[in-house]
Homo-oligomer: A and B are copies of this chain.
Amino acid sequence: MARTQGSHSDITGPKVREAALRLFAQQGYAAVSMRKIAAEVGVQAGALYNYTPDKQSLLFDLLRGHMDELLAVRAAQPVINDPVAALEEFTRFHIRFHAKRPDAVFISYMELRNLEPENFINIEGLRRDYEAQLEAILQRGMAEGLFQIPDPRIATMAIIAMLTGVNTWYSAEGRLKLSEIEEIYCDMVRMAVEMK
């Protein structure tokens, strides 16, 4: 399948990242060599070093790229002041964004262990930025007397785990469409936090 040939770097860069993402998700970071990635892309192993200094940089680029995209797409959403509507929007956004990127989500959780310390801190910081957006919605809802939440930090982690969990069982051929799943999660998340 994989042909060994020269390629233009503007094409090969994305191809290298795609191949690395696919292979890391299938086999795990430790099992995938630079040689395997090169073969998958169809370049000589040596040529890969034109695009990335090493395998760790590739892993970091993938995890960093995933978080950068998540934060950029979110930043482009309209601001919603009503906490109930904002929570619903966050729920739908999270499910939709993550369901579209199963490999990136999978390695973002599974391969954290293989990040070098400074890279880990970097990714952790971006995750905290994202989590802080949900926590701010929950805090606002509490301040306005709309939400009743025992611990907003823990509720943030619980809601994100619940939503990301969709990726472990969702199938496009399943009983429910993604839009229906979003609907059900919106109800559950709202019920979990709203003032009785």
Size bracket of the A interface:
35 or more
Minimal beta-carbon separation of A195 from chain B (angstroms): 10
Copies of the chain in the assembly: 2
Binary flags per residue of A24-44, CB closer than 8 Å to B gives 1, else 0 = 001111110000000000000
Q: Is chain A's binding surface mostly helix, strand, loop or mixed? A: helix
A positions within 8 Å CB-CB of B: 26-31, 109-110, 113, 148-151, 154-155, 157-162, 164-166, 168-169, 176, 181, 183-185, 187-189, 191-193, 196
A sample of 11 inter-chain contacts (CB < 8 A) reads A28-B31, A28-B110, A31-B31, A110-B110, A148-B191, A154-B184, A154-B188, A157-B168, A162-B162, A164-B165, A191-B192
